[in-house]
Amino acid sequence: MQQLEALTREARALASGELPLSAHESEVARQMQICNACRYCEGFCAVFPAMTRHLEFGKADIHYLANLCHNCGACLHACQYAPPHEFAVNVPQAMAQVRGQTYADYAWPPALGALYQRQGLTLALALSGALALFLVLAIGLNGPLWHASLAGNFYAIFPHNLLVGMFAPIFLFAALALGMGVRRFWRDVSPAASSALGEAAVEAGAAALRLKYLDGSNQTNTDEPAEGCPNSDDAPTLWRRRFHHLTFYGFMLCFAATSVATLYHYLLNWQAPYAYTSLPVLLGTVGGLGLLVGPAGLLWLNLRRHPSHGDATQKPMDRGFIVLLFLVSLTGLVLLAWRDTPAMAVLLAVHLGTVMALFLTLPYGKFAHGIYRCAALLKFSIEKRQPMQLALPEA
């Protein structure tokens, strides 16, 4: 029966010009049809209200729902059809498998989509180590690695224009690659135009910034206290949400520190190094601490999480990204603390190599999930403001 349904869906997809579903996409479609009949989890998160607007699930619908899922695991623990039931409904795992597929499918340039399957912890460490070693050797060719104190003047090691020349192309490429990928994703899944686009964008932005769908509460009952995501022992916890917040806002504070320092340099002609009490250093220190604690906590939770809660094949990508964020913060804080010592040149090379590795892998690592999830949240906010339009499929 299931094979007949799958063949029927594939025939309709081919007739409409839509590409046939992959095995993972077909599994999500199967589970969503079961969930659509049950609807016990309708108030858990945005996925299930969005699901109820469909009778059948095409490729674009599945990609949208997969990226709307926050993989909190609450629906799996509540589901009466979860394994070992014969229906074998595991929405978090099925969605995670498709989500990883969408990252690769929408990657730009397309040929680099395979990096999502290869971007693991070993690659992350090897790339950051190789780049750091290259920069250390470059310093050694131009002078001593162990030098007299330079009063924290990084530009005495790498001139400002050289640093801009190294990092600007990498940053711009990462932004372009992510932008092109999410543009293709949005073109495929976006709903009809809405007159309430501004209102929907504000709601989606608030949901993303608050990580609304990681609090574990029933979204249809705002009086219910937030409990968080279930762990492998079924006990819910808010620590996953908190560590995500520390990671995201730590990253944004570090970015703000770099932006303020850029304004100081170009607009006010205030040259680095800046005092420990200056705004760039304060922003970078607070952000660095958040970016130290957040990834460490996420790695701890990732190592302890039950295999049923996600896609095991994506673990190397997840951990590689988490460890790179942690190393960027750790090397940055160590550099800040020891910038007035003879070890500054080596510490600077290690930090810059790690930052360069992070941005080189940014478009093809776990960072992309935040971009696609924000697009899915925006579609959800737009779609729920539109009238329900359901029609039975043609025979």
- What percent of the chain has pLDDT above 70? 89
How high is the pLDDT of residue 18? 61
**How would you classify the pairing of strands 229-230 and 236-237?**
antiparallel
- Compute the average pLDDT of residues 374-384: 93
What DSSP string describes 340-370?
A: TSTTHHHHHHHHHHHHHHHHHHGGGSTTHHH
- Compute the average pLDDT of residues 118-136: 87
What is the Cα–Cα distance from 14 to 394, expressed in whole angstroms? 14
In a domain, residue 390? The reply is no
In a domain, residue 29? The reply is no
Verdict on whether the full-model pTM lies above 0.85: yes
What is the Cα–Cα distance from 271 to 262, expressed in whole angstroms? 10
Long-range residue pairs from 381-388, CB within 8 A, at least 24 positions apart, any chain: 381/199, 381/200, 381/201, 381/203, 381/204, 381/207, 382/191, 382/194, 382/196, 382/197, 382/200, 383/50, 383/53, 383/191, 384/49, 384/50, 385/194, 385/196, 385/199, 385/200, 386/191, 386/192, 386/194, 388/53
Evaluate if residue 78 carries a pLDDT over 90.
no
Closest CA to 47 of 310, 378, 309, 380: 380
In a domain, residue 38? The reply is no
Q: Left if phi > 0, otherwise alpha if psi is -120 to 50, otherwise beta: which for 9?
A: alpha
Q: What's 273's DSSP letter? A: P
Report the range of poorest mean pLDDT among 70-74, 150-154, 220-224, 318-322. 220-224
What DSSP string describes 206-223?
A: HHHHHTGGGS-S-TT-TT
In a domain, residue 250? The reply is yes
**Where are any strands of DSSP class E within 44-97?**
none
- Give just the sign of the alpha carbon dihedral 205, 210, 213, 219: negative
Would you call 282 exposed, middle or buried from its count of C-beta atoms within 10 A (0-12, 13-18, 19+)? middle
pLDDT band for position 11 (cuts 50, 70, 90): very low
**CB–CB of 113/101 below 8 Å?**
no
**CB–CB of 174/362 below 8 Å?**
yes
How high is the pLDDT of residue 217? 61
**CB–CB of 126/134 below 8 Å?**
no
In a domain, residue 64? The reply is no
Listed in sequence order, the residues at least 6 apart from 176 whose beta carbon sits closer than 8 Å to its beta carbon are 108
How high is the pLDDT of residue 1? 43
In a domain, residue 77? The reply is no
**CB–CB of 59/102 below 8 Å?**
no
Evaluate if residue 69 carries a pLDDT over 60.
yes
State pLDDT tens for residues 158-202: 888 899 999 999 999 999 999 999 999 999 988 666 667 889 999
Buried b (16+ CB within 10 A) or exposed e, 130-169: ebbeebbeebeeeeeeebeebebebeebbeeeeeeeeeee
Evaluate if residue 10 carries a pLDDT over 60.
no
- What percent of the chain has pLDDT above 90? 55
Residues constituting the chain: 395
In a domain, residue 213? The reply is no
Q: How many CB atoms lie within 10 A of CB 291?
A: 27
- Compute the average pLDDT of residues 42-71: 91
* More confidently predicted of 94 and 124: 94
In a domain, residue 395? The reply is no
How high is the pLDDT of residue 219? 56
Instruction: Find the domain containing 320 and state its range.
Output: 117-195+218-367
Mean pLDDT for the chain overall: 86
Phi, psi torsion values for 237, nearest 5 degrees: -150, 145
* Domain tally, the chain: 1
How high is the pLDDT of residue 15? 39
Evaluate if residue 243 carries a pLDDT over 60.
yes
